[in-house]
Amino acid sequence: MRWILIVFVTALPVPLFCGSVVLENSTIKAVFNENTGALQQLISKKDGWYLQKRPELGRSFRLDIPLSHQRFNPVFGEEQPPPQIRHEKNGKRLRFQWKNVRSKNGGRLAVDFTGVAELTDDGLIFTAEIDNRSFHTVETVHWPILGDLSRPQPDALFSQLGMDYGGMKSLQLFPKFDNMPGYFAVDYPTQMLQTPDTPFSLITAPARGLYVGYHDTTAAHLVQFMARLKPGYLGYEFWDSGENPKGDSLAGQPVHLEFSVLHFPFFNGGESGKLQPVVLVPFQGSWHRGADIYKKWRQSWFQSPAKPDWLQQVHAWQQIHVNNPENDVRYSYRDLLKIGADCARHNVGALQITGWTIGGQDGAYPSHDTDPHLGTRTNFAEVIAQIQKMGVKVILFNKYTWADRVSPWYESELIRYTTKDPYGDPHYYGGYAYQTPTQLAEINTHRFSPLCHLSPAWRQVACGEFLKSIELGADGMLYDENQHHGDSRYCFDATHKHHVPAHIYAGDTRLATDFHEISNPKKADYLFAGEGNYDLQFREYHLSYFRVDLNHVALHRYVAPYQEMMIPVSGYNDRNMINLALMNRYIISYEPRNFKGRLDEFPQTIEYGKKVDRLREKLSAYLWHGVFQDTLGATVLSDGKIYTNYSVFIDPNCGKKAVVVVNYSYELPVEVGIGFADKTKKWTVATPENPVPLVFSGIVNIPVNSAVVVIEK
């Protein structure tokens, strides 16, 4: 006989239909099946959106617990005997417990799963505990699962959005579905966003959405926000996309989107552990309202390291590449004096020197020795000091991500510190090809292995290499590729003094913290810059440098309005990229000829950049020190249609606004009208070419490749 033990700690559950328990407040209603723990319905009460619609498609949890003879061994919550259910916190928290779960291919295992759902003012929060007394590893956990994520408007665009390399990653859910794994590997089209690149997924439809946040600051585990289209495409379009079915059923099967949060805790036999909170909050409005939920949580833990004073003023950089693995020496250390003088003459405040280490850019890593082809270490230190005397800050390009497998050091020592796969092999990364036909054909490219920052022995070596850089006297470093480890996620090396396996990204903070301990006593205002920092990294890195295109959506800028971000400008008359920097408050990094050339090689670009930075200085209360609002706070129309290439800044001291509108077209000027909610206020307009503000009539003509700034008086 099946039995259910229900312990009524406080309030009685609210029955919806037979065999269900409910969590409900003024905004959310969540219905669970008391026999399976399946989330049968999830309703956003403010707008009536059934986020999880058909109860019969509701899902409970899933574990994956490989056996020694068969790795495929899932555990499905719906296939278990009914859980014990406890009602806690005045009926606002449900605790479902399954003991000795039944697996598909291994029978019952000594593993208990406890799933907790709690309704708070912050949203519907899912946590879990796993007690693994078996000899097996609980590798992954799906919790929660929305088995029938439904669209609020049947025909409208439906997507999941997340943060990605300074911008936004957008995966379409409907009317087409973006597939990511190999078609041969899965039954159903599947897509995922993952931490720590994005700490949340925003499931968005027009004017509403669902925030799914993973609220953890340790990066201890990988978490994926996974969606599947079942039973599959109506029409297949190559391996990565296809047309979704429109109706509720297809070939006798229900059509549904299954959305789950997939944790990779790797709890080994004998280990117990918890899953960090997953927070679900429906929101009304554009994606910004979903990002605001993350911003609010971010304020509870985020602390920025103190920034160097110079970084906070309007300024620009130049990046210069001096050498590469084919020894194509562009500039000796001494030659850099000319580059420094270029910067001083053009009022460029910082020079990033790339490829200064032995073997050039992307050769001989992680060595941060100087290269005899370029001069001596003493030469280089003197050159850095002389450039600093010109009023230009010097930043050195550093990298601790890879071991160069070509280097003798790799075999003699570094191989011990590389991240390992479950089979004991070092992970592998393809590296980067430079300049010669042979290398561009990938015939002799230096291949890499990622280094494990969780290994104390490696961190000690890395700190020695960092010392070599900082002792040259530069004002800071840009740690290139600090934000990733190739495709490697977990390290299985048992000699690294970490849990086996360990999420490699959890080492990023440890390495950065060790570096700060070195730099603080030597140079308290030493700049830590990184590449495309994921958000947690802004706790250690002052600046994030990344590349964008003109479709860039400034999601990270919106989430982190006070963090420094920088983009390269490389074209010969690159007004569009400079205007993009203006619109999103990015520092300009001048990079003529893909950072091989000198500033005077692209006079039109440098002259326009200077004009934009002069305007940003003049209007710095808005455009540099203001709070970026993306498109919120103004309406911009052109030809009666919504015009999207604009942004709004608010001066935090007085609350006044400025709106930057840009025209990316190379052929056509654009006439835009700008509307504001408050019609009584007076506005002026300025441009990089005409920085003195003039009265703004409400309509402005923007020439090709140009920008205007409309300012509240």
Nearer to Zn ion, 493 or 630 (CB): 493
Q: Which of residues 23-62 bind Zn ion (CB under 5 A)?
A: none
Closest CB to Zn ion among 61 and 490?
A: 490
Region 227-286 residues binding Zn ion, contact defined as CB under 5 A = none
Query: What sign does the CA torsion over 135, 136, 137, 140 have?
Result: negative
CB of 500 to Zn ion, least distance (A): 8
Say how many residues touch Zn ion, by CB under 5 A. 4
Name the residue nearer to Zn ion (CB basis): 298 or 496.
496
DSSP letters, 185-197, are T-SS-EEEEETTT
Q: How far is the CB of 406 from Zn ion (least distance, A)?
A: 22
Buried b (16+ CB within 10 A) or exposed e, 200-234: bbbbbbeebbbbbbbbbbebbbbbbbbbbbbbbbe
In whole angstroms, how close is the CB of 419 to Zn ion at the nearest point? 5
Minimum distance between the CB of residue 275 and Zn ion, rounded to whole angstroms?
22
Task: Decide: 446 and 325 in contact? Cβ < 8 Å.
Answer: yes
Report the amino acid identity of residue 590.
Answer: Y
- Our measurement of the distance from residue 52's CA atom to the centroid of its chain's CA atoms, rounded to an integer in Å, reads 27
What strand order describes the sheet that includes 208-214? 6-8, 84-88, 93-98, 111-120, 123-132, 272-284, 208-214, 200-205, 158-164, 167-174
Q: How far is the CB of 367 from Zn ion (least distance, A)?
A: 21
Euclidean distance between CA atoms 30 and 163, whole angstroms: 27
Do residues 209 and 287 make contact, with C-beta atoms less than 8 angstroms apart? Answer: yes
| Residue pair 367/409 in contact by the 8 Å Cβ criterion | yes
Q: Which residue has the tokens 């390291």?
A: 305
Give, for 143, the enclosing helix (H) or strand (E): strand 140-149
Whose Cβ is closer to Zn ion: residue 413's or residue 671's? 413
Minimum separation from the CB atom of position 72 to Zn ion (A): 26
Contact range with Zn ion by CB under 5 A, out of 163-171, 302-310, 488-496, 665-673: 488-496
Question: Closer to Zn ion at the Cβ: 62 or 453?
Answer: 453
| C-alpha to C-alpha distance for 664 and 575, rounded to whole angstroms | 8
Q: How far is the CB of 451 from Zn ion (least distance, A)?
A: 9
Closer to Zn ion by Cβ: residue 59 or 499: 499
Q: Which of residues 195-234 bind Zn ion (CB under 5 A)?
A: none
User: What's the min distance (Å) between Cβ of 454 and Zn ion?
Assistant: 5
* C-beta of 493 vs 651, nearer to Zn ion: 493
Closest approach, Cβ 693 to Zn ion, in A, equals: 57
Tokens of residue 282, six digits: 């429906």
Which span sits near Zn ion by CB under 5 A: 3-11, 136-144, 368-376, 491-499? 491-499
Closer residue to Zn ion, CB minimum distance, 452 or 478: 452
Q: What number of other Cβ atoms are within 10 A of residue 645's Cβ? A: 22
Q: Is the dihedral of CA 687, 693, 694, 697 positive or negative?
A: positive
The closest alpha carbon to 649, from 674, 675, 622, 624, belongs to 622
**Rounded CA separation 321/631 (Å):** 36
* Residue 38 tokens, joined: 């399946």
> With respect to Zn ion, which residue has the nearer C-beta, 395 or 452?
452
Which of 151/503 has CB closer to Zn ion? Answer: 503
| 463/704 with CB nearer Zn ion | 463
Stretch of residues binding Zn ion (CB under 5 A), selected from 23-31, 486-494, 628-636, 673-681:
486-494
SS3 assignment for 73-115: CEEEHHHCCCCEEEEECCCCEEEEEECCCEECCCEECCEEEEE
Q: Which residue type sits at 490?
A: Y
Interface segment toward Zn ion; rule CB under 5 A; list 200-208, 302-310, 484-492, 660-668: 484-492
Which of 320/491 has CB closer to Zn ion? 491
Which three-class secondary structure string do you get for 363-387?
CCCCCCCECCCCCCHHHHHHHHHHH
Site string for Zn ion, 441-480 (x = CB under 5 A): -----------x----------------------------
Nearest-approach distance from CB 505 to Zn ion, in angstroms: 12
Question: Per-residue string for binding with Zn ion, 584-613, x by CB under 5 A?
Answer: ------------------------------
**Contact call for residue 491 and Zn ion (CB under 5 A):** yes
Nearer to Zn ion, 60 or 488 (CB): 488
Distance CA 587, CA 685 (A): 22
- Residue 133 to residues 107, 108, 139, 268, 455: CA-CA distances in angstroms? 15, 12, 14, 9, 28
Enumerate residues 6+ apart whose C-beta is below 8 A from 618. Answer: 686, 691
- Could you tell me the smallest distance in angstroms from the CB atom of residue 222 to Zn ion? 14
Return the number of the residue (475 or 493) whose C-beta is nearest Zn ion. Answer: 493
Contact call for residue 496 and Zn ion (CB under 5 A): yes
Q: How far is the CB of 291 from Zn ion (least distance, A)?
A: 33
Q: Which is nearer to Zn ion, 456 or 698 (CB)?
A: 456
- Choice from 475, 493, 630, 712 touching Zn ion (CB under 5 A): 493
Write down the least CB distance from residue 501 to Zn ion, Å. 8
DSSP-assigned beta bridge partners for residue 204: 159, 209
Radius of gyration of the chain (CA): 28
Interhelix angle 456-470/506-522, nearest 10 degrees: 40
Stretch that binds Zn ion, among 110-118, 277-285, 425-433, 489-497 (CB under 5 A): 489-497
* CB nearer to Zn ion: pick between 133 and 497: 497
The stretch near Zn ion (CB under 5 A) out of 44-52, 140-148, 493-501, 518-526 is 493-501
Cis geometry, peptide bond prior to residue 422 (ω within 30 degrees of 0): no
**Minimum distance, C-beta of residue 138 to Zn ion, in the bound complex (Å):** 20
> Binding segment for Zn ion among 124-132, 257-265, 487-495, 656-664 (CB under 5 A)?
487-495
Only one residue has tokens 């070195």, namely 518
Least distance to Zn ion, CB of residue 455, Å: 5
**Shortest distance in whole angstroms from residue 411 CB to Zn ion:** 18
Task: Considering only the stretches 194-202, 396-404, 496-504, 561-569, report the one whose residues sit in contact with Zn ion under the rule CB under 5 A.
Answer: 496-504
Q: Does 508 bind Zn ion (CB under 5 A)?
A: no
Considering beta carbons, is residue 37 or 450 the nearer one to Zn ion? 450
Residue closer to Zn ion by CB (options 262, 452) is 452
- Phi (first) and psi of residue 583, to 5 degrees: -70, -30
How many helices, marked H, and strands, marked E, lie in the chain? 12, 48
- Smallest separation (angstroms) from Zn ion to the CB of 409: 18
Rounded distance between C-alpha atoms, residue 415 and residue 648, angstroms = 50
Smallest separation (angstroms) from Zn ion to the CB of 413: 15
Q: Which stretch binds Zn ion (CB under 5 A): 43-51, 140-148, 469-477, 494-502?
A: 494-502
- The answer to whether 529 contacts Zn ion (rule: CB under 5 A) is no
**Do the bridges between strand 62-64 and strand 49-52 make them parallel or antiparallel, or are there none, so unpaired?**
unpaired
Residues engaged in binding Zn ion (CB under 5 A): 452, 491, 493, 496
